[in-house]
Amino acid sequence: MPPTDRFAPPPSLLTGKRIVLGVTGGIAAYKAADHASYLAQQGVDLRVVMTAAATRFVGPMTFEAITRQPVYRDVFDGWAGEEAGHVTLAASADAVIVAPATANTIARMAQGMVDDMLTATLLATQAPIIVAPAMEHHMWHHPATRANIELLRSRGVTIVEPESGHLASGANGDGRLTSRDRIVAAVREQLARGGPLAGRKVVVSAGGTHEAIDPVRFIGNRSSGQMGVALADAAFDAGADVVSVVGPTVTVPPMVGRVERCESAREMSALVQEETGDADVLIMAAAVADFRPESAVASKIKKGPGDDAPIVRLTRNPDILATVKRDGLFLVGFAAETDDLVANSQAKLQAKALDMLVANDAVATIGSANSQATLLFANGDVIQLPLLAKAELARVIVHQLIPALPEAERKDA
Ligand SMILES: Cc1cc2nc3c(=O)[nH]c(=O)nc-3n(C[C@H](O)[C@H](O)[C@H](O)COP(=O)(O)O)c2cc1C
């Protein structure tokens, strides 16, 4: 058996990436501090550029303390020695984010103006640019802003649309800076391009299912869906086209790829069958109920005086993995066992003709943020992993399945 340290989790997509965060002079500038803090915690090599107006809203010191780097403010700074100011910064970037982006900066970008450090960096960079506008409702809907946004889009700039809601003016309307998660998802989409799963469709199921007893009651399980969500994230970050089929227990669905929601095992089965028709990989991380009430009652079961407690007869649910099996679809199953983990999992791998099986201790894993898993492969390989956070385990699983995919199936390579 290989030593476990060989399977140390690969770094996350954001770790070590040089990202330039441009902050402009809107009221939402304070939110950029949270974005900067989050990115720094993800291991991003973050450089912040502020416009003069932005410094009226938030002090540069905030960003300097978060990034431990000087904040770029003046296009005439940073020209000593090897440094070529905005040119060096622009060339070193893996991605440039402008959040919040004012109507004014968007207009200057659209015109190709270079009258400060941020616009100079934006014009000089070859890296993907992600713009998250934030402004008052009528500014956002003004024909000038609409035209500028469309022009930027046509040049390949990613626009992360603002949301509707409470605005700084006190009114409700469009123009509110979107969530940090949506901005980060847009950055990840750009950074993941050309990854090892580019051109591949990966379907991931996540969470438990609800099996109706009557219109208000169901049989469910304790699965949180964290593992499936982490797998969708990891596959997306490896460049895959990801579809997540998530059950009702998933409270925080993946922010990336496409998400399809379902309630029952039979609904999940139908969705998985539909989505795997043209997929390369199916990862069944969902805790699908094995049984459901034989017939769901149409009206709420009443507790009348003297009534006996109802007897709910169960019947078997479809085995999703068995129904989708076909050549060219790489199947990854999960086994949550309470006894004889490896022996029971080997039997499941063979019985279901899986390509890969992730076996873990049911009690220790379900609902926990960590998991100690064993990976079993169709060729007999077994890899015992150390205790890992589910996000780390997801990256190991995805990176272990990439070389196991048949060469002939690779669409791009
Ligand atoms: C209190 C206040 C709030 C503002 N909020 C916004 C805003 O949310 N969005 C926007 O586009 N402009 C906003 N502005 C206007 C910009 O600050 C102004 O257009 C400035 O020139 C932008 O400069 P910059 O794009 O170089 O950062 C606001 C101005 C003030 C005084």
pLDDT tens by residue, 170-187: 888 999 999 999 999 999
pLDDT at 411 over 60: no
Among protein residues, the one whose CA lies closest to atom 11 of ligand 1? 102
Among protein residues, the one whose CA lies closest to atom 6 of ligand 1? 26
Coil vs helix vs strand at 345: helix
Mean pLDDT of the chain: 92
How much is the average pLDDT of 253-263? Answer: 97
Per-residue pLDDT tens digits for 205-250 = 999 999 999 999 999 998 889 999 999 999 999 999 999 999 999 9
Show which residues are catalytic. 221
The hierarchical CATH code for the domain 195-294+308-405 is: 3.40.50.10300
User: Cα(294)–Cα(306) distance, rounded to whole angstroms?
Assistant: 25
CA of 300 to the centre of ligand 1 (A): 55
Asked if the domains 18-191 and 195-294+308-405 are classified in one and the same CATH topology, the answer is: yes
Per-residue pLDDT tens digits for 284-315 = 999 999 999 998 888 999 888 888 888 999 99
Domain ranges of the chain: 18-191, 195-294+308-405
pLDDT for the residue 7: 64
Pocket probe for ligand 1: among 57, 58, 102, the residue whose CB has the most ligand atoms within 8 Å is 102
Written out in words, the top-level CATH class of the domain with range 18-191 is alpha beta
What would the DSSP string read from start to end of 200-246?
-EEEEEESB--EESSSS-EE------HHHHHHHHHHHHTT-EEEEEE
Among protein residues, the one whose CA lies closest to atom 25 of ligand 1? 105
CA of 101 to the centre of ligand 1 (A): 9
Residue 374 CB–ligand 1 contact under 6 Å? no
CA of 137 to the centre of ligand 1 (A): 13
CA of 170 to the centre of ligand 1 (A): 16
User: Cα(68)–Cα(73) distance, rounded to whole angstroms?
Assistant: 15
Q: Say what the pTM is.
A: 0.92
